[in-house]
Amino acid sequence: MSALVGGALFSLLAAAPPAAAAEAQSIDDLFGGPPPAPTRPAPKTAPTTAPITAPESAATPQAPVNPAVPGSALSEKPLPESAPSTPALALEQPQESRSEPGITGFYQNDLAYTYAGKKHWSRFNNTLDLATEGRTAGGVAWKLGGRLNYDPIYDLTDYYPSAVRNDQRFEAMIREAYADFSAGDVDFRVGRQHIVWGEMVGLFFADVVSAKDMRQFVLPDFDMIRIPQWAARAEYFSGDFHAEGVWIPYMSYDDIGKPGAEFYPFKPPAVPGYQTIIAKEKRPTGLDDAGYGARLSWLKDGWDVSGFYYTANDASAAFSRLTLPTTITYQPIHKRIHQLGATLGKDLGPMVLKAEAVYTRDKLFSTLDPLDADGLAKQNFLDYIVGLEWSFPQETRFNVQLFQRWFPNHDAGIVPDKTESGVSLLLSTQALHPRLEPELLLISSLNRADWLAQFKLTWKMDGNWRLATGVDIFEGPANGLFGTYDNNDRVYTEVRYSF
């Protein structure tokens, strides 16, 4: 195994550009000057006049929803974002030529070694992501994209149970498959698509439509964990006003993997005299279980404000309990919730202000009460977050966010307190070198010593190649959101080629 990993690392490093001189005289000799822009094949053009492709809706990178609360959905480390923006389809005007469909995408290799607890190689994943898009002669824009994942770590070791190996060894999926068209003043997008309503940097609360691949928790980048929805979306624009409606007839849910996986989210305590069983996840589908919602946005005097309502079966699973004389069976289930939310953003000159608030009804939480019939308590709660970001020379960013979750009718049997508070801090810079970007992200509960620290160093080798290395550290109590993974501290490398 070590020989395989060593060979892989050697081949990846060999792909890097050679140093400018035999002996490095400066940091530029090691890493080169400022990275050029990514290169892509030049599109072939045809003399036919047709509208150009509508751009994909703006997607704000995501990360954990309220890391202080067990059961929250979490996501990725942020990318630069200088000012508030509202996602939109916004079809552009026709041009004098149209591009023939081409292939874009990326290849990425992820290698990780878990050094806490029982030490082991935990990841050697290879991802190929491909997409193509175009427009028909009738003016309908379209996009089709897919992804392949293969991780030989599950073939080369016997560390994981067979169910985990079968689930995470190989996967092929459709990522996007949609068509864009217009009818009067309304734009439509129909098919498998990303729908992003949250606009916070680093954390998300208002991105309630997205499902996520949680099999690596929140550690991969946003574009690796977000799951699109099969949906119909309509958008209307009038000056500074924007209205959006979505209908999801076939729901996508968070992918939590199988019991025994590195980041399986539910670890019930053993009960003497009982066998613990985790049953197959129950994922409701069909028109009766469709999700739907609407979002209204305004841009006034630099203030970007929106409000929304969304209802669907909860994308994150709750674990229902059934107790029999000799067994305790838990089953992941998804029940309908209702969410009412608002967002705002404002460029204040030296800093950018952003805030979000979401009130959720009927979400299920696991309860510690042994007399509860199904082990679940239905709760209503309010999430809210306020963030400030400062930008400095040399692509240096500092972001701080304070957030809370408040239960107006708190059930004493659930793990979270009546009010759960947390903070996140992000610092990234290119002050050392324009090709090197160190980044530090800290997310912590303020109720207890439960936190996650992520350090990442990225080397932008050229416009298409990116190499990164980093460490992820978990700390906290066994029932904490991060502390439950205290034995999963890891070091990793990441290589991506975009085309």
Percent of the chain with pLDDT over 90: 73
pLDDT of residue 20: 40
Report the chain's mean pLDDT, rounded to a whole number: 85
Lowest mean pLDDT among 36-45, 86-95, 158-167, 457-466: 86-95
For residues 27 and 430, give the distance between their C-alpha atoms in angstroms, rounded to a whole number.
13
pLDDT, residue 25, reads 56
Query: Domain segments of the chain: what residues?
Result: 60-91+124-434
- Whether residue 41 has pLDDT greater than 80: no
Please tell me the predicted confidence (pLDDT) of residue 99: 57
pLDDT tens-place string over residues 89-123: 444 444 434 557 799 999 999 999 999 999 999 99
Residue 34 has pLDDT above 80, yes or no: no
What is the predicted pLDDT for the residue at 334? 98
Q: How far apart are CA 85 and CA 11, in angstroms?
A: 41
pLDDT top residue among 61 and 215: 215
- Mean pLDDT lowest among 10-19, 168-177, 220-229, 260-269: 10-19
Q: Write out the two tokens for 240.
A: 């500074």
Q: What distance in Å separates the CA atoms of residue 391 and residue 388, rounded to the nearest whole number?
A: 10
Give 130's pLDDT tier (boundaries 50, 70, 90): very high
CB atoms within 10 A of CB 220: 22
Q: Which CATH number fits domain 60-91+124-434: 1.10.150, 2.40.10, 2.40.160, 2.40.128?
A: 2.40.160
- The full DSSP string for 310-346 is EEEE-SS-EEEEEE-SSEEEEEEE--EEEEEEEEEEE
44-48, 168-172, 383-387, 483-487: which range is least confident on average? Answer: 44-48
Confidence at residue 40, expressed as pLDDT on a 0 to 100 scale: 57
Residue 79 pLDDT class (50, 70, 90 cuts): very low
β-bridge mates for residue 186, sequence order? 183, 236
CA 486 to chain centre: 21
How large is the average pLDDT for residues 434-454?
96
pLDDT tens for each residue of 82-93: 344 444 444 444
Token pair, residue 49, equals 């006049």
Q: Which residue has the higher pLDDT, 485 or 7?
A: 485
- Binned at pLDDT 50, 70 and 90, residue 29 comes out as low
What mean pLDDT comes out for the span 138-157?
Answer: 96
pLDDT, one tens digit per residue, over 273-297 is 999 999 999 999 889 999 999 999 9
Strand order through the sheet with 318-323 = 275-278, 327-333, 318-323
The span from the CA of 71 to the CA of 179, in Å, is 34
Fill in the DSSP letter of residue 38: P
Q: CB-based contacts of 152: which residues, under 8 Å, 6+ apart?
A: 4, 124, 126, 169
pLDDT tens track for 405-434? 999 999 999 999 999 999 999 999 999 999
Report the percent of the chain where pLDDT is more than 70. Answer: 80
